[in-house]
Amino acid sequence: MHEMSFCIKLVNLAIETAQREQAKRVEELSVLVGEMTGIVDQLFINCYEKAVEGTILEGAKLNLIHDKTRAYCNNCGTEFIPDKEHDYLCPKCGGFDCKITGGRGVVLKEIILD
């Protein structure tokens, strides 16, 4: 269950941020979850609830924001969402020299502190 490893990193980052800002508690977290991570929302939420028990994050609302996979074609400069219809190649030039530019990780986008 890789959701737990992502969750623990997220919780540790949020705790460090809250401590650095001398917050009494964390009200809310907004988290960008990349499509390529394969994270299952409900499993992530379950891990989060366990990971925050007894911490400054306990009771904080968790907002998951889904981040689609995005790519950039090094041949023609097109930014696109890879899809099966185009065999995951650039839809403009058919190029395969592309790099993934989004949808790969778990990012703490916003933290609301009290």
pLDDT band of residue 1 (cuts 50, 70, 90) is low
Averaged over 1-16, what is the pLDDT?
A: 92
Total domain count for the chain? Answer: 1
Q: Domain containing 86: what range?
A: 2-113
Q: What CATH number has the domain bearing residue 58?
A: 3.30.2320.80
Question: With 70 as the cut, is the pLDDT of residue 114 above it?
Answer: yes
Tell me the C-alpha distance between 17 and 97, whole Å. Answer: 38
Tell me the C-alpha distance between 102 and 83, whole Å. Answer: 14
Question: With 90 as the cut, is the pLDDT of residue 2 above it?
Answer: no
Averaged over 69-75, what is the pLDDT?
A: 97
SS3 92: coil
Which tokens is 4 given? 């737990």
Q: What is the helix (H) or strand (E) element at residue 73, kind and residue range?
A: strand 70-73
What are the pLDDT digits (tens) for 24-68?
A: 999 999 999 999 999 999 999 999 999 999 999 999 999 999 999
Which tokens is 47 given? 């891990």
Answer whether 70's CB lies under 8 Å from 81's CB: yes
Q: What residues have CB less than 8 Å from 15, skipping those under 6 apart?
A: 55, 56, 57
